[in-house]
A = this chain, B = another copy of it.
């Protein structure tokens, strides 16, 4: 006969605890590379785009004034660069430097390894099912590490 299993968490606690667990892992990875979680998100956006400061603020749900410092600190470390937009003299575009891109790639690889490790307690079909349910839940307009165009 099967061993007794403790009851599942309710959906609220399950999602809350899962989110803290995943964020904890992301935070540790970021810290191991000298970054914060918000910088990891910033860099994830910059991987595919060269947005203006204000677009970045919208993606990250930050005030525009918060962007200045965030970008400045990354720029000081040689990870991103600012450049004036060609067609509007008010706009500053932000992009990754080659070092920044290297760092993003390292972090993304590590995130892949660590989240996979976390998910390795599930069977393959369970992982697929979880991915499907989570995809439905976040709605296809992917939000964070890979925000919508």
Contacts and interface: CB of A to CB of B under 8 A. Distances in A.
Contacts of A11: 115-116, 119, 127-128, 130-131
A132 B10 CA distance: 9
Interface of A: 6, 8-24, 26, 41, 61, 111-112, 115-116, 118-119, 121-122, 126-140, 142-146
A143 B9 contact: no
Nearest to A22: B19
A91 to B, nearest CB: 27
Contacts of A138: 9, 14, 17-18, 21
- Interface class of chain A by DSSP: helix
Contacts of A13: 142, 145-146
A26 B22 contact: no
A131 B26 CA distance: 22
Contacts of A140: 6
Contacts of A134: 9, 14-15, 17-18, 130
A16 B145 contact: yes
Nearest to A14: B134
B22 A131 contact: no
Contacts of A20: 23, 41, 143-145
A41 B22 CA distance: 15
Max chain B C-beta neighbours (<10 A), residue from A6, A19, A127, A142: A19
